[in-house]
Structure 1
Amino acid sequence: MTGSVSSPIPARQPQYGDKPPEITRKITACAACRKQKVKCFMGRDGQPPCTRCKKRGLPCAVNKSLQMILESDADWKSSVERKIRTLESGLARVANHLSLDDVFDDVDEADDEPMELPPPAASDGVSPQVEKHTPHNFEIVMDPNSGPAAIPGSVVSPVILPGLDQRMEQDIIHRKVVTIDEARNYLNVYQNRLDHFLYRILGDRRSLEQVRKSPLLLAAVCAVGALHTADSPHFETCYQEFVSIAAAQTFSRRNTVDDIRGLCIAAFWLSGISWTCVAAAVRISTEIGLHRSIYKALAGERNHYLRTRLYYLVYVCDHHFSVAYGRPPMTRQDDAVRASMPFLESDFADEDDSRLVSQVQFWNTGSKIYETFGIDVEKPLNLSMIEPLRRLSIDLDGIRADWTEKFTANKFVGNYPRKGVGLHYHFMRLYLHSMAFRGIGKPGFRSPDVALDIDELANSALLSATAILRAVVMDEEIQSYLNGLPTYFDLMLAFAVVFVLKVSTKYASSVRIDTSEIRSLVADLVTVLKGVTSSMHPRHLLVSVTHGAETLLDKCSGIDLGMPSNAQVTMSQPTFDQSLYDVSNEWNGASFDNFFMGEFDFLSNQENLNGFLPDSQYQQM
């Protein structure tokens, strides 16, 4: 069989005799003018509405003549036949590749008639085409380099048929969502600043042409770049395009490492879809074997070095949005994670890799915290939990001591590499020590055998929370980072505000705290955040965090101290809708249960102040 076959559809012959009927008089006047028998002057380019209908506010439409109908029908059929011939040519090449000689043998003579197909549906011009997905065929693989101890699934491989590449149709520059110059500006915003907060997800510096090889990566970079450009009009459209492209590639068999990079970028900065993007990134990275590249990376192969560092980025991203939200992480301590320190001995490793590995170690400890203490926020700590908690706290101290002095100033993000270690340390320490408040108001809370330990841990949690707030209030360089740091920082800043206000109003009798100093600190923080967010894009998450913190502080002013009998806690996260980045409207109880935020409500209305007010005051309202 040759690589091409003759089309079963013959060249189209005229269907109206020897030639289509000629109707020399074409209708150019609209129906309203024809009815009144007056001259019809059409608008620009001869298109309705005409001058008379526009002036009188009348509906204006030109009835199609028979000639126009016939011409439209002929043009459509010619287009369909061209597409069918192209499809047949492609199928012939596939059949030839798979030695399917009889692929067209069952086309009988009756099929030689012109095909009657329904008219094509109108495209909305928004959603990219979805790759057609068909069931896999599999073949047995005999790998001469593989021994009997090979992974069982490695002996079969899916047969992926060649298909049309939809990537050009998904490209947001090709679709005229943004121009080349606009996309290049957003790439510069991302690549010259944001990428250096996350240890260079893009890796080596890239041109726009290189980024465009993955439409998903291009859309993510443009959406995040637009979010961090205050006057950008493209954030909403780039965001929606990214969501459409990501949805279209859900079942794709042709995902690349650049697609993983695009999903990570979206997860770190687009909070409403972070968890969905993380899940897809983890699935694809394990599907293409990033976690197995560590062995060849340690042997000095640069390509596998790049794949391994991308896997570490996926690991960190996964833990940002799993451990902190009380979800089991999808990536665990496997060989790649255990070999993170030897990875730094590679000839290719630099300071960004050291920063990345420090995060891997922080979140490895975070996973241990999650696995040790679980998510039951109603269960008070008992004596058997105290020593594991102290050991994990010592681990955090060691990580901070090991890494703080190793980092120098970065030409893109200043002293963030060093200061970021301190912020992450206090985030994780607050997460760990806030467990001292688990089960507060329940039987067994602060039992005599753990009372002193609970008090110590509670005060340690408060110290870390206030350290976070003071770092933002007092350090102008950290303030300059806020319009660029990933949303995890906004989340932890919000948690620190909730924590100190909750403790200072409701649990002041349990810890040593100067309530007036705490409220003054939060007031200073709100002032700083209002100044910082005044030049941010209105959809930035920190804009809503600022508004919510200010509202919460106002609700707490003038509250006397007291100790209620219980505490019911919830907090909500942004959802994928119009209010995606307006979480201040969500801090009122319509929320999700966050396990380590379990005793703290981010409230913004009077009805839910019972979370902060003592029982006696609440009854008087």
Structure 2
Amino acid sequence: MILESDSLWKEDINSKIRKLESAVEKLASHTSLSDLLDSVEDGDAEDEEGSGPKSIPPPSTQVSPQTEKNTPHNFEIVMDDDSGPAAIPGSVVSPVGWPAVEQNRAEQDIINRGVLTVEQAQSYLDVYQNRLDHFLYRIIGDRRDLVQVRTGSPLLLAAICAVGALHVASPDFEKCYEHFVSVAAAQTFSRSNNVDDIRGLCVGAFWLSGISWTCIGIAVRISTEIGLHRSISKALAGDRNHYLRTRLYYLVWVCDHHFSIAYGRPPMTRQDDSIRASLQFLETENAVEDDARLVSQVQFWAVGRDVYETFGVDVERPLNQQMIEPLRRYSIRLDNLRADWTERFGYNEFVGNYPRKGVGLHYHFAKLYLYSFAFRGISRPGWKTPDIALDIDELANSALLSATAILRAVVSDAEIQSYLNGLPTYFDVMIAFAVVFVLKVSTKYATSVRVDTSEIRTLVAQLVDVLKNVTTAMHSRHLLVSVARGAEQLLNRCCPSNAQISVAPLPSNAHVTMSQAPQPTFDDGLYDMSAAWDGSFGNFYMGEFDFLSSQEPCAFLPDMQYQSAPQT
């Protein structure tokens, strides 16, 4: 009815305009209005080229492509007679109604763009495949040549080149990084993503610290969109393609947990059928040792996820009696995982003894995260009730033991030091957290946590020397360079060589004893390490942080006035 009314109105207007034009022509022929008539005719010609009656399209029920592109709800319902009554409800709705701006993939290629030459790209691919990829259980999977990588995904090639350039301290890193960010942004709204795009996002997330959370967020969305989490049943049946899809989903899952639980964020991936069947996955005919290493990470982070969901993120809520036993059970699970996986791994031709030593590092990372809960609510009066006082002391001792074990592993093991320019950024974050933890406990809470402060100071000083030596040849944008610089400055502020320590010296084998004396305010003098990034540090929460963001002295120095730093 609207279209019919519109058509009748247009016909009426056109008729009146024609009559008006005829009347004006007759009037002009009897008067001196010829100039006016010429002006009207010129205007008509312009209207015909622009917005005159001839430019008005006829009424139509068809929607133009541009209009369709901007229409938000033009879903197409798909009536699939192959779907059974148990089909997923959303499968009847096709996403084609949400068109995305697709780019020519050849135009996104880092070589075609002129960012790198073929030779440069090949050199970074070699660096990545010969070493870095083996720290992360071979994200690429089977070895590929440059042509295969370029064909698979420009995003994957861009990520490999950026990460490779970072680890050889190449001046190409900045332009490779910018190109990767540009391609990743373009792929965010694409409808033609593939598994190699997910691999590229994982490579970026594991090693490019500034954009890790963004990359893994996109990777989780794409991986679930293309159904990687549904491949487990066919993978268990021996399908090679679904085996590769499932192991990629495990990588996404692990990466998601690297940058969620440690930062106090809820993971985006769930404990679904794929994760529950991870041990069965290792029994398939396609599984190799790298898959066992990957599944060991899935197992460790499954415990971490349970810990997160059990204890939450409220760092001001002290532990109570009901929380002690679950915490001990999680500790036992971690002990069992360490024993099971350490004896399973041996020497690797690409990364040496890292498979076995990496299990030990991840074990202490998880233990430090778990036992640091003993310090929750330390700023509140009566935070440690008499019925759990001994348990809290024991947990605090264990937390300090795990933190110092991390630092000693880096200081004393030359092979682990050789890994540092290659390990994903999660390791750098946990090393930094261990430094802050031991300095905070041995200085800020030296009156309530009895510990050998001189031993801690010596250990951190040794770590600083090691990190400075290791990072000498690293790219300035490598996260560990910032960790080394910040750890040194933090140590100098907390433990200046001429400071008089106000805590009585203790034997080197002293244990942590948390007293019932009035506790200092937790925020008082809190060392803020998160100003540079968006992560959350909180009370003993790991975050993306800047060591140099705080100028406050440490709490054990005498005659100092402290201001409350923002808790982040």
Question: TM-score per shorter chain, which class?
Answer: 0.7 to 0.9
Q: 1:226 to 1:409 in 2, by over 3 A?
A: same
Structure 1 residue 602: Cα displacement: 7.4
| Matched ranges for 1:485-524 at <5 A | 485-524=423-462
Counterpart of 1:203 (choices 108, 120, 141) is 141
Query: Take 1:154 and 1:193, find their aligned partners in 2: how far apart are those partners?
Result: 41
Q: Does 1:539 align with 2:539?
A: no
Query: Take 2:532 and 2:555, find their aligned partners in 1: how far apart are those partners?
Result: 26
Q: 1:601 to 1:179 in 2, by over 3 A?
A: closer
Query: Take 1:419 and 1:210, find their aligned partners in 2: how far apart are those partners?
Result: 33
Query: Take 2:431 and 2:282, find their aligned partners in 1: how far apart are those partners?
Result: 31
Deviations 1:122-153 (A, max 9, x none): xxxxxxxxxx8875542414242x32111111
Query: Take 1:162 and 1:502, find their aligned partners in 2: how far apart are those partners?
Result: 50
Contact 1:196 1:412 in 2 (8 A): yes
CA-atom RMSD in angstroms: 2.6
- What corresponds to 2:179 in structure 1? 241
For 2:382, the aligned partner's letter is G
Q: TM-score scaled to structure 1, two decimals? A: 0.73
Q: Does 1:565 align with 2:520?
A: yes
Q: 1:388 to 1:614 in 2, by over 3 A?
A: farther
- What corresponds to 1:295 in structure 2? 233
| Matched ranges for 1:223-302 at <5 A | 223-230=162-169, 232-302=170-240
| Matched ranges for 1:87-126 at <5 A | none
Query: Take 1:376 and 1:480, find their aligned partners in 2: how far apart are those partners?
Result: 37
Give 3-state SS (helix, strand or coil) of 1:449's partner.
Answer: helix
- What corresponds to 1:464 in structure 2? 402
Give 3-state SS (helix, strand or coil) of 2:218's partner.
Answer: helix
- What corresponds to 1:3 in structure 2? none
Bigger RCO (CA 8 Å, 6+ sep) = 2
- Could you tell which deviates more after superposition, 276-285 or 503-512? 503-512
- What corresponds to 2:313 in structure 1? 375
Counterpart of 1:323 (choices 261, 268, 271) is 261
- What corresponds to 1:154 in structure 2? 91
Deviations 1:195-247 (A, max 9, x none): 000000000001111111211111110100000012x1111111111111111
Q: Does 1:333 align with 2:279?
A: no
For 1:521, the aligned partner's letter is L
Deviations 1:22-44 (A, max 9, x none): xxxxxxxxxxxxxxxxxxxxxxx
Deviations 1:431-450 (A, max 9, x none): 00011011113123121111
Query: Take 1:248 and 1:208, find their aligned partners in 2: how far apart are those partners?
Result: 22
Q: 1:251 to 1:591 in 2, by over 3 A?
A: closer
Structure 1 residue 388: Cα displacement: 0.7
Query: Take 1:164 and 1:442, find their aligned partners in 2: how far apart are those partners?
Result: 55
Give 3-state SS (helix, strand or coil) of 1:378's partner.
Answer: coil
Contact 2:205 2:213 in 1 (8 A): yes
Contact 2:229 2:246 in 1 (8 A): yes
For 2:552, the aligned partner's letter is N
Structure 1 residue 254: Cα displacement: 0.5
Query: Take 1:484 and 1:600, find their aligned partners in 2: how far apart are those partners?
Result: 19
- Could you tell which deviates more after superposition, 510-519 or 596-605? 596-605
Contact 2:379 2:520 in 1 (8 A): yes
Query: Take 1:495 and 1:559, find their aligned partners in 2: how far apart are those partners?
Result: 26
Query: Take 2:467 and 2:379, find their aligned partners in 1: how far apart are those partners?
Result: 34
Query: Take 1:176 and 1:400, find their aligned partners in 2: how far apart are those partners?
Result: 47
Query: Take 2:261 and 2:381, find their aligned partners in 1: how far apart are those partners?
Result: 27
Q: Does 1:484 align with 2:427?
A: no
Counterpart of 1:216 (choices 155, 162, 165) is 155
Task: Structure 2: give runs of 5+ residues left out of the alignment.
Answer: 1-52, 57-68, 504-517, 564-568
Query: Take 1:233 and 1:614, find their aligned partners in 2: how far apart are those partners?
Result: 43
Structure 1 residue 554: Cα displacement: 0.5
Q: Does 1:305 align with 2:243?
A: yes
Task: Structure 1: give runs of 5+ residues left out of the alignment.
Answer: 1-107, 112-131, 577-589
- What corresponds to 2:14 in structure 1? none
Structure 1 residue 616: Cα displacement: 4.5
- What corresponds to 2:487 in structure 1? 549
For 1:455, the aligned partner's letter is D
Counterpart of 1:187 (choices 97, 122, 125) is 125
Query: Take 1:168 and 1:619, find their aligned partners in 2: how far apart are those partners?
Result: 58
- What corresponds to 2:552 in structure 1? 608
For 1:215, the aligned partner's letter is P
Contact 2:102 2:191 in 1 (8 A): no
Query: Take 1:461 and 1:521, find their aligned partners in 2: how far apart are those partners?
Result: 16
For 1:461, the aligned partner's letter is A
Give 3-state SS (helix, strand or coil) of 1:483's partner.
Answer: coil
Query: Take 2:292 and 2:535, find their aligned partners in 1: how far apart are those partners?
Result: 37
Contact 1:200 1:352 in 2 (8 A): yes
Contact 1:505 1:561 in 2 (8 A): no
Query: Take 1:186 and 1:574, find their aligned partners in 2: how far apart are those partners?
Result: 32
Structure 1 residue 507: Cα displacement: 2.1
- What corresponds to 1:597 in structure 2? 541
Contact 1:191 1:205 in 2 (8 A): yes
Query: Take 1:178 and 1:256, find their aligned partners in 2: how far apart are those partners?
Result: 24
Deviations 1:159-215 (A, max 9, x none): 478997511111110010010100010011111100000000000001111111211
Q: 1:188 to 1:290 in 2, by over 3 A?
A: same
- What corresponds to 1:33 in structure 2? none
Give 3-state SS (helix, strand or coil) of 1:618's partner.
Answer: coil
Structure 1 residue 157: Cα displacement: 2.5
Contact 2:442 2:456 in 1 (8 A): yes
Query: Take 1:440 and 1:166, find their aligned partners in 2: how far apart are those partners?
Result: 56
Q: TM-score scaled to structure 2, two decimals? A: 0.79
Structure 1 residue 597: Cα displacement: 2.6
Contact 1:229 1:536 in 2 (8 A): yes
For 1:560, the aligned partner's letter is I
Q: Which has a greater percent of helix? A: 2
Structure 1 residue 251: Cα displacement: 1.0
Structure 1 residue 613: Cα displacement: 3.8
- What corresponds to 1:363 in structure 2? 301
